[in-house]
Amino acid sequence: MSDDGHQHTGTEHVPSRQRRRFPGISSRAYEHPADRSALVALRKLTGFDAVFKALSGLLPERSLRLLFLSDSVRVSDRQFAHLNDMLRDACYILDLEKVPPMYVTQDPQPNAMCIGLDEPVIVVTTGLVELLDEEEMRAVVGHEVGHALSGHAVYRTILLFLTSLAVKVAWIPLGNVAIMAIVMALREWFRKSELSADRAGLLVGQDVRASMRGLMKIAGGNHLHEMNVDAFLEQAEEYDSGGDLRDSVLKILNVLPRSHPFTTVRAAELKKWAESREHQRILDGHYPRRDEDKDASVGDSFRESAASYAGDMKDSRDPLMKLVSDLAGGAGDLGGRVRRGFDGFRSPPPAKGDTASADGEA
C-alpha cells in the first residue's frame, strides 16, 4: 500500500519504469482553455451543486448504477485485476483520493465513459479491453480518471439526459429547437473536454507513442502493422488544410452531432500539447494546485479561452478559418477572393504580375 492509502496489487502488470506523480494537481493544469473557462465559471456559481443534486432525481443515474451492477463486471482485485491496478495507479498519479468504481460491459464497440452526478462511474467496453495493449489501456484509464478529477462526469450525464429529452419533446413546437441549442453548446464544450482528458491520459501513461497507438487503433482497429503514426498525423494536417469553403462547411456539419473530436484531430492536438512548454512544466512539478482552485479567476480563464480560439483560427489552414481570420484582420484581397468563388479559398490569391486567369480576372 502506498503512503497515501492507495493499495496497489498485481505489480506484475505495472511497468518497471518509474512514472512521475503529481501531488495535489488541479485539473486546470491539463484542461483545454475552452474547457477550463467553462468549468471555472460553473464552479463559481452559488448553489450550482445544489441545483444538480436536485436534478439528480430526474436523471436515470440510480438506474444506470443498478444496471452496471447487475449486467456488467465490476473491476476489482478479483475481476479484471490488471485494470484495477491501472485504475488505482492512475488515481495515485493524479492524486485522486477516492477511486471511482469501474465496470467492464459487453459491447464489441471500443468505448469508455465516465458518468454520474453524485459519484463518477467509469465504464469500459469489452471491445476496448480486447483492442488495446497494456500501455494503451493505461492512457485510456488515465483519460477517464481525468474526466472524474475535472468533474466532467456531471456534465456528461446532463448531456445524455438532455439528448434523451430532446427526442421526447420533439413533437412540441420549438421545444426541440430550444433543447437542441443547449445540446449543441454542451457538445462543443464536451469535445474540448475530451482533449483535456487525452492530456490527463498522457500524464498518467507518460508514453506519447502509446497514446498515439491507442487513438490509431480506435480509428483503424487492431492492425498496427498496417498503420503508421506519422502517416496518421498527416491525415489530420490534410483534414485541416484540404478542400475549399464547401468542405469547411461540411466539416462543421459532420462534427456538430459528435460528442468527441475526430480521432486524427485528437492525435494531432495531443502531440502538439506533448511537445509544449506547458506539458514540460507539469512534468517538472510546476502546475496549479487543487487548493488554489477557489482563487481561479473567471475573467482570466475566459481570456485564455478566447486567446486559444483566436490562435487556433490564426494557425489553421482551413479555408473557412482563414476567411474568418482575414475578416478580423481586414485582408485587402478578400473581395477578390469572394469574386473568384469557392476556389478562391482553396489556395492563396495570385500575386501581382501573374498571368490573367481564364475568366479574365487578374
72's CB contacts (< 8 A; 6+ apart) are 103, 104, 105, 106, 123
**Which run of H or of E encompasses 122?**
strand 121-125
Residue 92 burial class via C-beta count within 10 angstroms: exposed 0-12, middle 13-18, buried 19 and up: buried
Tell me the backbone φ, ψ of residue 240, rounded to 5 degrees. Answer: -70, -35
Q: Are 179 and 166 in contact (CB under 8 A)?
A: yes
Catalytic residues: 144
Which of 187, 179, 159 lies closest to 255, judged by CA?
187
* Overall size of the chain counted in residues: 362
Q: What distances in angstroms separate CA 178 from CA 16, 151, 164, 184, 258, one per listed residue?
A: 53, 25, 14, 10, 18
Say whether 167 sits in a helix, a strand or coil: helix
User: Which run of H or E residues covers position 196?
Assistant: helix 175-205
CA distance linking residue 149 with residue 120, whole number of Å: 9
124, β-bridge pairs? 104, 112
